[in-house]
């Protein structure tokens, strides 16, 4: 059962195509700032409750990112491993046609699990309006994931966090959990700014060297051997060893629930930037805050993707996207960290208050 509160959800639309078997739903959480933006998740187990939680996260993320967009998310119940391409296309297009009464007027779709640019092409074609979704292929005006907008934003959030703590990125040490789209780009920009990468992990484990890992060589190792743990030198370990690394900064860029309450004692970072979604609970963040470790929350730090998606929606290009990601992530991270300091809260509490204030001010 979805819980309703003062924020939303405003509308839940359930759709079904008896002929083709498509079953799906859209949860439009809050549209006070603009049409709700959020992904389409296609899994066999996706539920209205799961989608409602994601829609709420999008409400906060878009509000803090300062975009004229609300929060929404949708789901299609289907197992794409058991479908041919033609069957998947038929399901996505049936879903697109069924939600046309709210899309794009109240909901603008985007990729999420098992939905990428090809599916967004099908979705936009079935809707008939190119503005029905973002994450489309380049030939339809899309801004591809491979540009690394989220990792670029995570880097700028980290830069603001470091400055907030009186640290210069040049010479600072950092570790990155996950070396995929977000982690790779964040680590690249950090390295370009003069920071020293001392540990990196992926699904196979972690590689650490207090004297520094060469970013280009590490990227080459990941590309050629499929894992950072095959890097030529340094100490390899288990994935969770990343939490015990001695570095000024940790950038999370892989799994949810990475940090548990029991890890707080052994952690010695000064700053953690949450590039991944929900790497820890709010309670754990509060414990780290009490310990003096600054945590920049996920929906503040990793909003580069939604900002890029907004630029695509407005018909903008690559340069405009990078400029806006830098500007908005820098501005909003500063606002959140200063608000947290002034009001004596942890940053997530301050960011949630900011998001609510922005939504309520737009009555």
Q: Which residues bind ligand NAD (CB under 6 A)?
A: 150, 177-183, 201-203, 239, 253-255, 275-277, 302, 305
**Surface-to-core class of residue 268, CB atoms within 10 Å of its CB (0-12 exposed, 13-18 middle, 19+ buried):** middle
Nearest one of 207, 204, 215, 198 to 233, comparing CA atoms: 207
Pick between residue 13 and residue 147 the one whose CB is nearest to ligand NAD: 147
Beta carbon of residue 226, minimum distance to ligand NAD (angstroms, whole number): 9
| Nearest residue to ligand NAD, by Cβ distance, number only | 180
Pick between residue 150 and residue 349 the one whose CB is nearest to ligand NAD: 150
Pick between residue 165 and residue 236 the one whose CB is nearest to ligand NAD: 236
Beta carbon of residue 322, minimum distance to ligand NAD (angstroms, whole number): 14
Beta carbon of residue 182, minimum distance to ligand NAD (angstroms, whole number): 4
Pick between residue 90 and residue 305 the one whose CB is nearest to ligand NAD: 305
- 3-state SS, one letter per residue, for 271-291: EEEECCCCCCCHHHHHHHHHH
C-alpha 107/C-alpha 111 separation (Å) is 13
Beta carbon of residue 179, minimum distance to ligand NAD (angstroms, whole number): 4
Element spanning 252, H or E: strand 249-252
CA distances from 290 to 123, 244, 255, 340, 346 (A): 46, 18, 24, 13, 8
Nearest one of 162, 355, 179, 115 to 273, comparing CA atoms: 162
Beta carbon of residue 217, minimum distance to ligand NAD (angstroms, whole number): 17
Pick between residue 17 and residue 230 the one whose CB is nearest to ligand NAD: 230
Residues sharing a CB contact under 8 Å with residue 192, sequence separation 6 or more, in sequence order = none
Q: Is the Cα dihedral 170, 173, 176, 179 positive or negative?
A: positive
Beta carbon of residue 216, minimum distance to ligand NAD (angstroms, whole number): 17
Pick between residue 165 and residue 255 the one whose CB is nearest to ligand NAD: 255
């Amino acid at each position: 059962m979805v819980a309703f509160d003062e924020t939303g959800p405003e509308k839940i639309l359930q759709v079904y195509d008896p002929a083709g078997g498509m079953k799906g739903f859209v949860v439009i959480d809050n549209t006070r700032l603009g049409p709700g933006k959020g992904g389409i998740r296609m899994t066999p187990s996706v539920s209205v409750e799961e989608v409602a939680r994601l829609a709420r996260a999008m409400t906060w993320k878009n509000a803090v990112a300062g975009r004229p967009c609300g929060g929404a998310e949708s789901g299609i119940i289907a197992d794409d491993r058991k479908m041919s391409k033609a069957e998947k296309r038929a399901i996505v297009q049936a879903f697109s046609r069924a939600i046309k009464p709210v899309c794009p007027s109240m909901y603008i779709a985007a990729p999420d699990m098992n939905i990428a640019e090809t599916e967004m092409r099908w979705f936009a074609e079935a809707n008939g309006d190119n503005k029905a979704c973002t994450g489309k292929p380049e030939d339809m005006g899309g801004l591809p994931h491979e540009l690394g907008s989220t990792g670029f934003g995570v880097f700028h959030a980290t830069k603001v966090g470091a400055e907030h703590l009186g640290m210069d990125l040049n010479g600072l040490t950092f570790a990155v959990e996950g070396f995929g789209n977000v982690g790779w780009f964040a680590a690249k920009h950090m390295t370009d700014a003069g920071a020293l990468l001392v540990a990196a992990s992926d699904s196979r484990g972690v590689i650490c060297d207090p004297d520094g890992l060469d970013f280009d060589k590490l990227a080459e190792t990941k590309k050629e051997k499929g894992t950072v743990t095959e890097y030529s030198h340094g100490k390899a370990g288990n994935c969770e060893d990343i939490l015990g690394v001695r570095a000024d900064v940790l950038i999370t860029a892989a799994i949810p629930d990475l940090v548990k309450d029991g890890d707080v004692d052994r952690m010695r970072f000064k700053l953690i930037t949450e590039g991944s979604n929900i790497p820890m609970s709010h309670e754990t963040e509060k414990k780290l805050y009490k310990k003096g470790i600054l945590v920049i929350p996920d929906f503040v730090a990793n909003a580069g993707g939604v900002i890029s998606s907004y630029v695509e929606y407005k018909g903008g290009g690559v340069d405009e996207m990078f400029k806006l990601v830098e500007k908005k992530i820098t501005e909003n991270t500063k606002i959140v960290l200063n608000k947290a300091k002034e009001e004596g809260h942890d940053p997530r509490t301050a960011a949630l208050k900011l998001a609510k204030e922005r939504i309520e001010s737009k009555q």
